[in-house]
Structure 1
């Protein structure tokens, strides 16, 4: 930090207003503000050059359904619309939750939806439009690592916009 005070000495309780100091400060601020974008671009470039997986490119979405038939119907329409490459249907999840101030208990069917992270918003909108629950459960987690061939298969199974 000494180099900064030597380059830009304080001017009688005012901050440094010399043109060289302001230019340097602008460059530093531009780098700090653009760091997330630069990091993303560099990771994508590294992924293309090395053939490695870019963490977070794919996601698993979780959706609860009231029964198996509705779960199968939702899973099939998700696949028909190419919003996912695979949907696992896990039977009989016991759920306890607050609803309108009361503790409720239900048996639900859990869907695990494997898709591209870029499709999560569209998937969420679609599920909200067809789901029988007033507030359907839908959340997703990014896939950090996995079998490269499986991740490529997900990529190929989900439609581009």
Structure 2
């Protein structure tokens, strides 16, 4: 008998230990965002400090002030954001359908939890009038701990 265990009757068959290891690795990889979020919350709760990347600023360009206000207010109402700045008259130049376009747009700076960025982006794509709205985020690296505590309270938990 083989000391390494019984041989697989089919060519190319994985041993159970290899298959179990692969499943554990895959499950760990797929649940990484959830574990990261939980570990960041635990670290902040235990140390009373802020962990870089817990919060993000989401940038969104809108065609006019009314649409910008509607998106800002809805993001706040849905607890997807704690604060939104509306910056008027951003000049934008960009390629669209092979041509250089120029427009005046309104820029939103939306402050939220990094864990909410995906849901917020999906919501904005749903209500935004542009075919491909400009929605991207940057993590907040440093800042006032009191501000981050206020931001935490303003955004609903997952």
Give the shorter-chain TM-score range: 0.7 to 0.9
Q: Which runs of 5 or more residues in structure 2 are unaligned?
A: 1-24
The structure number with the bigger radius of gyration is: 1
Contact 2:62 2:68 in 1 (8 A): yes
- CA 1:131–1:43 in 2, change beyond 3 Å: closer, same or farther? closer
The separation in 2 between residues aligned to 1:42 and 1:122, in whole angstroms, is: 20
Task: From the superposition, tell whether residues 160 and 45 of structure 1 become closer, same or farther in structure 2 (CA, over 3 Å).
Answer: closer
RMSD of aligned Cα (Å): 2.2
Deviation at 1:48, TM superposition (A): 3.1
Deviation, 1:145, is: 1.2
- CA distance in 1: counterparts of 2:91 and 2:80, whole angstroms: 27
The runs of at least 4 aligned residues of structure 1 exceeding 6 Å deviation read none
| Aligned counterparts, 1:35-50, within 5 A | 46-50=43-47
Structure 1 length-normalised TM:
0.72
Tell whether the 8 Å contact from 2:57 to 2:110 is kept in structure 1 after alignment.
Answer: yes
Give the CA deviation at 1:50: 2.1
Deviation at 1:76, TM superposition (A): 0.6
The count of aligned residue pairs is 128
Structure 1 gaps, min length 5:
1-29
